Amino acid sequence: MGDVVLQTATINWLRSLLGEEATFSFVTSKEFSSLIDTHPEVKSVISFDRRGGETWKDLIKKIDELHEKTPIDLILDLHATLRSFRLKLSYWTIPSLTVDKRRWERFLLTKIKSVRLKRLFDKKLFGLEPQVERILKDFEGIFGDTRSKRRTVDYRKGPNEELTSLASLPVYPLPGPYIVLAPSASFSNKRWPVERFMDLGKKILNETTLHVVVLAGPDDKFCEAFNEIESDHFHNLQGKTSLKESMSVLANAQGCIGNDSGMNHIAEAYGVPCVTLFGPTDPRFGFAPHGSKSQYISKEMFCKPCSTTGKTPCYRDRLYCMEEISVNEVFNAASKLLGNS
Ligand code: SF4
């Protein structure tokens, strides 16, 4: 999910580089197409509904139809996975470019078990800067561009412009200013414990006038634990909003507190200040929030990062990387970004 949101900056940059005549079509999984289908620079979205039973042939047929109507001049592989490689192979006569996702550098970081050595992975030394900036810098070299206005430093400007179309979506009826808690993540290791999120929610209710909204998907059953918080200022929307509605809720929030996950990327794309909590992954992977008010919390420890995605099961007796992040620490970070401290 986060990858799709972040790549809106690439599309915006290409638009400024190639002018109004260029058209962009985006190929993505159906569950993520809502993230991009109202983007003003994207002419069409080809969604692949694998869960709904669509086959590879169906996907190729859709792309063929597009290619017949508007010949494809260039394929940009922004995902760099086996599946996207297979897709490029299917259209091997069309020139293509593939992003370098710095998987090797990330992998290396997981293998170093010394905090001091890990610090050598400073962004200047190893180039582990924000992923969006890295990708655009790579493309700049290829396209020979130094003139474009919407460059890497405009990262937030790019996705923010999505608001021009997304702001018209119906906003979930929420009273008063609110802060979003996003306790979900693609893998359970990447989740700050739900009890901590609950304590944080209670603290926000007790010490501020803000409403608190929980956003999570229908499969995030662990969020049912929030139902025990009884307050007319607390709204557990887990499983109640579509992705588009969640985006609207995020776009109108005062702030968002969540794990290293897509929800925080969406919030940041809307210019909503975020506190992002990193567990087994590492901000040096390039997915830390970049907004001027946003910040992240990540504990340094020998075992972290233990995988490039957070998927690998924890090999220690406890999830230290997450459990060492205290409720007070997160609350204080959120207070600063909201200007309440
Ligand atoms: S505590 Fe260490 S080993 Fe366990 S998930 Fe966190 S980073 Fe990985």
Q: Do 113 and 69 sit in the same domain of this protein? A: yes
Ligand 1 centre from 251 Cα, in Å? 32
- Band (209; pLDDT cuts 50, 70, 90): very high
Q: Do 265 and 145 sit in the same domain of this protein? A: no
Q: pLDDT at position 308, please?
A: 87
Pocket test for ligand 1, best of 304, 308, 325 (most atoms within 8 A of CB): 304
Nearest CA to ligand 1 atom 4: 314
Is the beta carbon of 277 within 6 A of some atom in ligand 1?
A: no
Is the beta carbon of 320 within 6 A of some atom in ligand 1?
A: yes
Nearest CA to ligand 1 atom 3: 314
- The 3-class SS string of the chain reads CHHHHHCHHHHHHHHHHHCCCCCEEEEEEHHHHHHCCCCCCEEEEEEECCCCCCCHHHHHHHHHHHHHHCCCCCEEECCCCHHHHHHHHHCCCCCEEECCCCHHHHHHHHHCCCHHHHHCCCHHHHCCCCHHHHHHHHHHHHHCCCCCCCCHHHCCHHHHCCHHHHCCCCCCCCCCCEEEEECCCCCHHHCCCHHHHHHHHHHHHHHCCCEEEECCCCCCHHHHHHHHCCCCCEEECCCCCCHHHHHHHHHCCCEEEEECCHHHHHHHHCCCCEEEEECCCCHHHCCCCCCCCCEEEECCCCCCCCCCCCCCCCCCCCCHHHHCCCHHHHHHHHHHHHCCC
Residue 166 counted as domain residue? no
pTM above 0.75, yes or no: yes
**Segment 40-99, tens digit of pLDDT:** 778 888 989 888 889 999 999 999 999 999 899 999 888 888 888 998 999 999 988 888
Q: Which atom of ligand 1 is nearest to the CA of 307?
A: 8
CATH of residue 286 = 3.40.50.2000
Q: Do 149 and 242 sit in the same domain of this protein? A: no
Q: How many domains does the chain have?
A: 2
Q: pLDDT at position 79, please?
A: 83
Q: Do 138 and 183 sit in the same domain of this protein? A: no
Residue 168 counted as domain residue? no
- Band (286; pLDDT cuts 50, 70, 90): confident
Domain that holds residue 67: 2-161
Which of 30-34, 92-96, 144-148, 206-210 is predicted with the least confidence, judged by mean pLDDT? 144-148
